[in-house]
Chain A
Amino acid sequence: DAGITQSPRYKITETGRQVTLMCHQTWSHSYMFWYRQDLGHGLRLIYYSAAADITDKGEVPDGYVVSRSKTENFPLTLESATRSQTSVYFCATRLAPRNNEQFFGPGTRLTVL
């Protein structure tokens, strides 16, 4: 029972490059989320998705793109990476919008040089 997997777990890239972070779930939860976690800012929501082909912006969406063609996958793309996007990125899922827990993946540590 893998739950939520994220890949890669660690990534180093250069400013201006495109980077895609992958998130895969085995539960078929409807809702999926992308957060970034930074010292001094806590967890901030980037994008979320209510179902395949339905996505919406969170608190800090600029510079990021998401897609969700299949229920189980929710990739996050940094179109042109900047140093300010150096962070730890967490994917999370939730079965339904109310009265259900949110579950988190192990995270991807991204460094932009």
Chain B
Amino acid sequence: KQEVTQIPAALSVPEGENLVLNCSFTDSAIYNLQWFRQDPGKGLTSLLLIQSSQREQTSGRLNASLDKSSGRSTLYIAASQPGDSATYLCAVSPTIKFYFGSGTKLNVKP
């Protein structure tokens, strides 16, 4: 069974700092990896989808990388803002289903 781990579980940074969130998975046979954002009491919002053939994807201040062979992905957030405060989840898809990590709770302090 695919296991997805996100470290750290929580992170607090001052506004303006660049930061990296980590995601690791046990089985490298995946089709894609997706990063989500979840605000308290809300649903999941898709941030980035990386296909298995890709190394990275970018959207605005976000950059996600994928290293299938090592079973790792990182989400880089540039120039963090208080509005970035949320829980970030990664999910990998070896077939139809996605397997989720437990998330990293990010707090960006003004």
Q: Which residues of A contact B (CB under 8 A)?
A: 31, 33, 42-43, 45, 48, 50, 58, 90, 92, 94, 97-107
Known: A50-B96, A90-B44. A102 touches B34 (CB 8 A): yes
User: Size range of the interface on B?
Assistant: 20 to 34
Q: Would you call A102 and B46 a contact (CB within 8 A)?
A: yes
Q: Is B98 an interface residue (CB 8 A)?
A: yes
Please give 11 more A-B residue pairs, beta carbons under 8 A apart, in addition to A42-B102, A102-B46.
A42-B89, A45-B97, A58-B97, A92-B44, A99-B32, A101-B34, A103-B46, A104-B43, A104-B46, A106-B42, A107-B42
Q: How far is the CB of B22 from chain A (nearest CB, A)?
A: 16
The residue that A42 contacts in the complex, of B31, B34, B101, with Cβ under 8 A, is: B101
Q: Which residues of B contact A (CB under 8 A)?
A: 31-32, 34, 36, 42-46, 49, 51, 89, 91, 93, 95-98, 100-103
Q: Would you call B49 and A101 a contact (CB within 8 A)?
A: yes
Q: Pull 20 A–B residue pairs with CB atoms less than 8 Å apart, ordered by A.
A: A33-B97, A42-B100, A42-B101, A42-B102, A43-B89, A43-B100, A45-B98, A48-B97, A50-B96, A58-B97, A92-B44, A94-B96, A97-B31, A97-B96, A99-B31, A99-B32, A101-B46, A102-B98, A105-B43, A106-B42
